[in-house]
Amino acid sequence: MLTNKRKIINDPIYGFVTIPNALIYDLINHPYFQRLRRIKQLGLTNLVYPGALHTRFHHAIGAMHLMQEAVLNLKQKKIVITADEENAVLIAILLHDIGHGPFSHALEHSIVKGINHETISSLLMDKLNKEFKGKLTLAIKIFNNKYKKQFLHQLVSSQLDMDRLDYLKRDSFFTGVSEGVISSDRIIKMLNVVNNELVVEYKAIYSIEKFLIARRLMYWQVYLHKTVLSAETLLVNILKRAKELSANGIKLFATPTLKLFLITDFAKEDFENDSALLNEFANLDDYDIMASIKVWAEHEDIILSKLCSNLLERKLYKIELQNSAITAAYKNKLILKVCKLYKITKKEANYFVFNSLVNNSAYLANKFNITILMSDGKLLDVAKASDQLNIQSLSKTVTKHFICYPKEIV
């Protein structure tokens, strides 16, 4: 019954989001998708920005809403998009993050190694496609850039896709970092298609610049915020320790599903060959992790219990973030202090002193570029169309090195 399933969802950002048809309604109600309600979009960012509790569920719905607007706008500009294509591109964006696991990126390589969320998204979409009797085939083609109308894929995944437009707006809204606000309205109104490629009309050039700057700002002010890095490093180390103890036969409280992933390291092939395993993964969410961590805070392994209670009580690592690499000597000095203070081995101290690096480019000059449609009809890469070369400089990758260690040793 289509009419019955035509529903609206409240969104503090867009007002109302309309679910356009019964198929999409059923996808949203599928347990795989409902699960996203229990996966925070921004991992542990809420420890710094307490409002940042929004979920992958809300983001996926929001991105679908922007896609509806983008398609409407392109059709008004006489770009041909059939009803089937429209439906497929909506489904593709709706499901683009379906493979995310607990705390999104924060644990992406901790729970299952060597498999990113895109791979799992793809496997889950295939599984859903069987369940829905092939109705997702076109959506999957678009998602994987196998469909002739490339611009549809670009709307789902490129440097100016509906994913980014939604997450910048949403993350900005819930963190309260108002500087991340972008004008998705204006950008969407200025989208066009030339030679099967998604382009932006010249009028929007300043909005695009602003969008790139906003994205960069959000990276350094939110996504790679020192304290967020520190918290997520702690979380990664907790999982690592829990897996290590499990591997050594030490018994740990955990939900049955989490236990499975603590004990075994699965490979991509395992997921491909074992549909039940995929279902198990699709049963994991933030709650499995945090409920277990709360119990582990009382575990007799003092490394595990200390890491866990630190997270729960927000006693985060001190973190230093710098342009140059962390020297081995400096790290070693910190390790020794920790060994002495906690009476643990050097190997164990690596759970408390930890270094790595993060990097970000606001714009990648050679991958799904943002193309500007000039007033004279020519196409130009945004890095060339801009007046002040800002965007060229934004293309540089910025790398920062960081080291975390307990505040107590300072």
β-strands 318-322, 191-194 pairing: unpaired
Q: Is 274 helix (H, G, I), strand (E, B) or coil?
A: coil
Closer residue to a copy of itself, CB minimum distance, 46 or 246: 46
The nearest distance, CB 393 to a copy of itself, in angstroms, is 5
The nearest distance, CB 266 to a copy of itself, in angstroms, is 20
Closer residue to a copy of itself, CB minimum distance, 139 or 297: 297
Closer residue to a copy of itself, CB minimum distance, 117 or 299: 299
The nearest distance, CB 289 to a copy of itself, in angstroms, is 9
Residues 406, 335: Cα–Cα separation, whole Å: 10
Closer residue to a copy of itself, CB minimum distance, 110 or 175: 175
Structure-block tokens of residue 145: 């850039």
The nearest distance, CB 278 to a copy of itself, in angstroms, is 17
Tokens 């790595």 belong to residue: 356
Residues 186, 237: Cα–Cα separation, whole Å: 43
Helix (H) or strand (E) holding 140: helix 137-143
Closer residue to a copy of itself, CB minimum distance, 153 or 226: 226
DSSP string, 50-116: TT---BHHHHHHHHHHHHHHHHHHHHHTT----HHHHHHHHHHHHTTTTT--TTGGGGTTTSSTT--
| Strand arrangement of the beta sheet that strand 318-322 belongs to | 318-322, 398-405, 354-360
Beta bridge partners of 354: 404
Beta bridge partners of 355: 403
The nearest distance, CB 136 to a copy of itself, in angstroms, is 20
Distance of CA 214 to the CA centre of its chain: 17
The nearest distance, CB 341 to a copy of itself, in angstroms, is 21
The nearest distance, CB 276 to a copy of itself, in angstroms, is 13
Closer residue to a copy of itself, CB minimum distance, 227 or 264: 227
Task: Answer yes or no: are the C-beta atoms of 308 and 294 closer than 8 Å.
Answer: yes
Closer residue to a copy of itself, CB minimum distance, 220 or 368: 220
